[in-house]
Chain A
């Protein structure tokens, strides 16, 4: 029993218990859905489901009040303008310098330098300096040395949303690389010389191999259907020296439904073991996790064991591509298994619309968690770190995950008006350390190759 408060940013429930006055705070941005349930003798129940999977049930005595709260929450939980988001009003009382420093903690260019680029094979191109070539890419992109501005521009015209192949991960030990793009606008028979040259350039940037893999993370059916819309995938006949591979990971709609089903299973009251296992299998959630993991392993093996470069794309090169490349780099490079490194990897890959509910993040985080369970000594951070990141991706308390790309972020002046999550986490990093982690431990070195037989995926 207690009092409910609604502020501009939070729902707050304060318990009436005299000594403790325990408070429960929920950010509006954390609210995933609100349900008005049937009125009972005790009052009108309102069920709030949060994006961090917390579920709160409020029983409000008066119908009228309940309805008011319901309407208000619906409006508050769906901000119309960016400015309504919490991150623009969140004030942790840091001064301007501290805020700036916070944003500088994690930088894309430092990361590329750490990987060893630019170098003889890879260069920075400023062809996109005014976001003219691709408005969802940053102003500086890393491309193969032999990719001229002409090739880049030509390739971008042949790619969905102009997202041409660009460097995502570079392995300095063997020059193999992972590049990302979106799908080619090949339709049934279209070709583009510059795009073909672009892929050649990627191949040439790795003298140790005479072909590259092109990985399409969509199921074959979906990719083929896209051809009817003038898009599609690379034809091995047209692109010399590529080996094409489908790794079917379902699209966002399938994933959303999968997540929904799984949450329903978790919400069951007193389920039997059978109900639970059946429900879990029905949701297909773990199957998708395995698919993402398998894809990541394929790419990691290609780079680390075969020394072959990989180009990865899905439809628009956002969600599945990002997930799979992130998993691959986590497997390949111990740096990303440190706290700093993990923050960097998220920074580089997250371009998405947080106003859309997408389970992409949740899946990626679950993949990381599964890896942590199989390799308990290999990660510098612990489970709490992952949970807090997931929480804040939806909380919109920090500005890191807004917007679709660097251009929008600059336009909205994110760095000047909001605070960086990474700085916040870094300050508290003592809470996130994994005590079993040792930098010189054998488990932390080199590539991780997890077991992907179904029995190895835990549910918890």
Chain B
């Protein structure tokens, strides 16, 4: 194992740890292959810090005399400081941390070494398979089939082995359509709207190029989702200009001539690389302690983060409206179909489908529309807001999606089975985790790495009743509504639970949440009592009745 080589100094004493909300504490620092651990000198030798190396974005070293300081900036936006006596020790530890937090090989990551402390009742790797989802679908419609054309990942490397396509389209046709779409991502079913039978499909851009290449199987595929005489909408997440320019590189958009029954709408959503810059600026603004009111709002505005939130929510509402209000089917795509496309299809389902607002429904959504759909998590979540890397693959695409879900959750506090903590937990695990769920860029990679055999699934842990309890929303009242979020600027707030999490204590808000929980629990108890007493009363009344008659 290479870890031992990377760790220059496995241990240092008299290290002082500074972290948010706790007073500085002194203890012994240990470096393992996967963690940074600080145990304090308190009686119980408690671990004050247990940090995954993979959670580290970047570190800074500073020296004052012989006292070295390492400032660790984490992907979950926490900033931690370690004061290490002795310059050489400090340097060794710093370079060890740097090496350990920038490991290339996936198989060296912690999920491959993690041994769960809990009993695995449900194997999360098999909880949300395409077969299961398809079963649910076939109970309401028989116009679709599950195709295994991609079971060797040879037709589309970023798709799962099984995809849902219209029944009338055979595998041969799918193979041809795959050659016509960027990265082989031919249109597949994303969502079926029970209320009116309309569907949402997603894909990548068509490879029309400058010659206006066409593919009749592609038109046939998406036309198969249209009802007789009805039109569909294609939502292109690029502006018309960008879509047109894409032709020069072999890409393009669906020409009206080839797709006469489809109306194309360009709803521009920012590309993933812009999002990363946005995040960096926003986090900088939040960490700025200068307390100057004058610049706060303009810094917030300059980061554009909330503008992105607004954009995506608007696009998702548009897709939702086409399906629910216009009663039309929709095809969503951008360029690669792995980023903004997925943001929109998954958010549209939150709006349209109450099932996606339940805990299991949301987990299934993440599995379907993000993990199995091939969002490149390993590339996108390699670094977060404190990134100092020059690469352009990192981007908070999934994080932005979670932010949008939070916005809707805040506007409709009774419509979600899960609470904010659930979303924050997903944010954390997407970037660094002991579970293998978010490793890999697509199902093909996950198969090759044998993740389902060698690592534990996040869902196995989350879905244990004791854990779920923390993530349940006490205000939840199941409803079957389509919920339309407001995208007016006043309605969109900064997600303090994540962005200001380490800057100010949430103690009072937590207390309020607990109080709310208590009130609801108490209410339930009283309600149960009332029910029991009513039953008693009913019994007594029938007893009396019987006695009178006898």
Contacts and interface: CB of A to CB of B under 8 A. Distances in A.
Contact of B291 (A266, A441, A452, A458): A452
A219 interface: no
Contacts of A274: 301, 304, 307
A277 B294 contact: no
Contacts of A266: 490
A269 to B, nearest CB: 10
Given A451-B504, A454-B291, A454-B293, A278 B490 contact: no
B232 to A, nearest CB: 27
Q: How large is the interface on B (under 10, 10 to 19, 20 to 34, 35 or more residues)?
A: 35 or more
A286 B296 CA distance: 10
A436 interface: yes
B257 to A, nearest CB: 34
A453 interface: yes
Interface string B484-496: 0000111011101
Nearest to B307: A273
B297 A376 contact: no
Contact of A377 (B292, B492, B512): B512
B509 interface: yes
Contacts of B490: 266, 276, 459-460
A286 B496 CA distance: 17
A453 B291 contact: yes
A278 B293 contact: no
B287 to A, nearest CB: 10
Q: How large is the interface on A (under 10, 10 to 19, 20 to 34, 35 or more residues)?
A: 35 or more
B298 A278 contact: yes
B511 A442 contact: yes
B310 interface: yes
Given A281-B298, A377-B511, A287 B489 contact: no
Contact of A273 (B285, B310, B496, B504): B310
Interface in B437-491: 488-490
B60 interface: no
Given A273-B306, A281-B294, A453 B289 contact: yes
Nearest to A456: B504
A457 B519 CA distance: 28
Interface in B286-328: 286, 289, 291-298, 300-301, 304, 306-307, 309-310
Interface in A259-308: 266, 271-278, 280-281, 286-287, 290
A238 B454 CA distance: 80
Contact of A443 (B289, B492, B500, B508): B508
Contacts of B543: none
A43 interface: no
- Among B291, B293, B492, residue most surrounded by chain A Cβ atoms (within 10 Å): B293
B515 interface: yes
A374 B504 CA distance: 11
B368 to A, nearest CB: 30
Contacts of B301: 273-274, 277-278, 281
A278 B302 CA distance: 9
B242 interface: no
A281 to B, nearest CB: 4
Contacts of A208: none
B508 A453 contact: no
Contacts of A454: 291-293, 295-297
A377 B515 CA distance: 8
Contacts of B516: 435-436
Contacts of A221: none
A179 to B, nearest CB: 29
A75 interface: no
Contacts of A281: 294, 296-298, 301
B503 interface: yes
A426 interface: no
Contacts of A375: 508
Contact of B489 (A271, A286, A377, A436): A271
Interface string A431-459: 00001101001110000000111111111
Contacts of A377: 508, 511-512, 515
Contacts of A278: 297-298, 301
A287 B494 CA distance: 18
A272 B306 CA distance: 10
Contact of A455 (B294, B304, B503, B511): B503
A163 to B, nearest CB: 31
B500 to A, nearest CB: 6
Contacts of B296: 281, 454-455
Given A376-B509, A436-B512, A273 B291 contact: no
Given A274-B307, A277-B489, A290 B293 contact: yes
Contacts of A460: 490, 493
Nearest to B491: A460
A329 to B, nearest CB: 20
B145 to A, nearest CB: 43
Interface string B158-193: 000000000000000000000000000000000000
Nearest to A270: B488
A435 B517 CA distance: 11
Nearest to A438: B515
B504 A453 contact: yes
Contacts of B292: 454
Contacts of B286: 455
Given A278-B301, A455-B286, A455-B500, A286 B293 contact: yes
Interface string A347-389: 0000000000000000000000000001111100000000000
Contacts of A272: 307, 310, 489
Interface in B188-223: none
A263 to B, nearest CB: 13
A277 B289 contact: no
Nearest to A458: B493
Contacts of A456: 500, 504
A74 B298 CA distance: 39
Nearest to B515: A436
A277 B297 contact: yes
Contacts of A452: 291
Contacts of A435: 516, 519
A267 to B, nearest CB: 11
Contacts of A286: 293, 297
Contacts of A443: 508, 511-512
Nearest to A452: B291
Contacts of A276: 489-490
- Among A276, A435, A438, A452, residue most surrounded by chain B Cβ atoms (within 10 Å): A276
A287 B304 CA distance: 21
- Among B285, B512, B519, residue most surrounded by chain A Cβ atoms (within 10 Å): B512
A46 B512 CA distance: 45
Contacts of B291: 452-454
B289 to A, nearest CB: 7
A441 B494 contact: no
Contacts of B500: 455-456
A388 B390 CA distance: 55
Contacts of B298: 277-278, 281
B489 A376 contact: no
B230 to A, nearest CB: 30
Given A277-B301, A436-B515, A376 B508 contact: yes
24 contacts: A266-B490, A271-B489, A272-B307, A272-B489, A273-B492, A274-B307, A277-B297, A277-B298, A277-B301, A281-B298, A290-B293, A374-B509, A376-B509, A435-B519, A436-B512, A441-B511, A442-B511, A453-B503, A454-B291, A455-B285, A455-B286, A455-B296, A455-B494, A459-B490
**8 A-B pairs closest in CB distance:** A276-B489, A454-B296, A376-B512, A281-B297, A277-B301, A273-B307, A287-B293, A454-B293
Given A277-B306, A376-B511, 9 more contacts: A278-B298, A281-B296, A374-B509, A377-B515, A441-B515, A453-B503, A454-B297, A455-B500, A456-B500
Interface of B: 285-286, 289, 291-298, 300-301, 304, 306-307, 309-310, 488-490, 492-494, 496, 500, 503-504, 508-509, 511-512, 515-516, 519
